[in-house]
Amino acid sequence: MTLIMGIVNVTPDSFSDGGRWFDADAAIGHAVELVADGAHIIDIGGESTRPGAEPLTSDEELQRVLPVVTELAARGIRVSIDTMHAATATACVEAGAEFVNDVSGGLADPDMYSAVAVTPATYIAMHWRGLLGRTDSTPDDERARYEDVVDEVRAGLERRMTQAVAAGIPLERIVLDPGLGFSKQRAHNWQLLARMDELRSLGRPLLIGHSRKRFLGDLAGDRDVATSVVSALSAVSGAWAVRVHDVASTRAALEVADAWTSGREAHPGHGAALEPRLEADGEPASAGEQRERLT
C-alpha cells in the first residue's frame, strides 16, 4: 500500500496555504482533519522552502512545531518532522515524531545524520542540488542543469544514503525523495516520475513530494486534480508514500490505483505483475495486506 503523508505547514508564508495553520491549535485541528480524510502520516514543517524565504534558527522552528508534534503524537497520530536542523529533529523525535524529513538530505546541518542515528526515527533524505541558494544569491533554477537528471539524482541520493549509513543510520531506516521542484526544471520532474523504477533500484522506499507544485499547475491548471493523478501513477509505479495537501482526493485516487493493481495481479498471465510496494522497513507488503490497509 502506498501511504499518504498529509502536509501541515506551521508557517506564515507557505506557498500553498498562506499561513492558515500558523497557529498551533489550527495546525493540530487541520492535522486531525487530514487523518480523518485518510492520511497515514502527518508531516509538520515550520520553515518555508519557497524561493526567497528567510532561514530559521532551530529555536525559532521549535517554537512553531514542537507543540503540534507533541499533541499529535499524544493522540496516537504518526508524525513526521520536516526539518533541516538536527536539534529540531532530536527534540521532535523525543516528543514522538516517527520520521525526520530532511529536504537537504543532510547537507544543511552536519550533525543531522549522527543526531538521527541515535534515535529510532526513519530518516527521509531528499535530493536538492540548490541548497546553497539559501545562503547565496544564485537562483535555484540556475542550478537545474543536468546531462541526465535521473542518473544524477540517483547518484546524489546514493551518496546521501551511503553517508547516512556511515554515520550510523541503519539502511532499513532510510527513505529517499527525488526532490521534485527543487533545483529541477519542469521536464526534469516528469522524467524523474516516469523513470521511478531507476530510483527504486537503490533498494529503498521512495517518497514522492509533488503536491500543488508549479510544474503541475503549468500543465493542468487545477493543481489538486493533477496532484491526485500523479499520486495514483506514483502508487502504480511503486512509491512508498506520497506527500500531499489534499488528502481526500489522493485517497480516492489511490483506491483506484490499488484496484487497478489488484486486477492485474489477479490475472498474471495477461501481463507481468508489478513489484510489491515497499513498507517503511523495506519489506514488501502482500497484495492482500495492501488492500486491507487501504480500507
Residues near 212 by beta carbon (within 8 Å), at least 6 away in sequence? 15, 16, 223, 224, 227, 245
> In the predicted model, what is the mean pLDDT of residues 38-48?
95
C-alpha cell at 95: 516528543
Instruction: Give yes or no for residue 71 having a pLDDT over 50.
Output: yes
User: In the annotation, is 243 catalytic?
Assistant: yes
Task: Identify the band that residue 134 occupies on the pLDDT scale cut at 50, 70 and 90.
Answer: low
More confident residue, 233 or 288: 233
Buried b (16+ CB within 10 A) or exposed e, 177-202: bbbbbbbbeeebbbbbbebbeebbee
C-alpha cell at 250: 489522493
Query: Using CA atoms, how far apart are residues 96 and 17, in angstroms rounded to an integer?
Result: 25
Q: Catalytic residue among 129, 184, 204, 213, which?
A: 213
Return the minimum-mean-pLDDT range out of 5-14, 33-42, 204-213, 252-261: 5-14
- Nearest-CA neighbor of 115 among 97, 98, 93, 131? 93
Phi and psi dihedrals of 186, rounded to 5? -50, -50
User: In the annotation, is 184 catalytic?
Assistant: no
Task: Identify the band that residue 12 occupies on the pLDDT scale cut at 50, 70 and 90.
Answer: confident
Counting Cβ atoms within 10 Å, is residue 154 exposed (0-12), middle (13-18) or buried (19+)? buried
Query: Using CA atoms, how far apart are residues 81 and 90, in angstroms rounded to an integer?
Result: 10
Task: Identify the band that residue 29 occupies on the pLDDT scale cut at 50, 70 and 90.
Answer: very high
Residue 36: C-alpha distances to residues 29, 40, 211 (Å): 11, 10, 19
pLDDT of residue 199: 98
Instruction: Give yes or no for residue 292 having a pLDDT over 50.
Output: no
Instruction: Give yes or no for residue 47 having a pLDDT over 80.
Output: yes
Strand partners, 41: 5
Q: Catalytic residue among 195, 223, 243, 251, which?
A: 243
CA dihedral 105, 111, 115, 117 (to 10 degrees): 60
pTM: 0.86
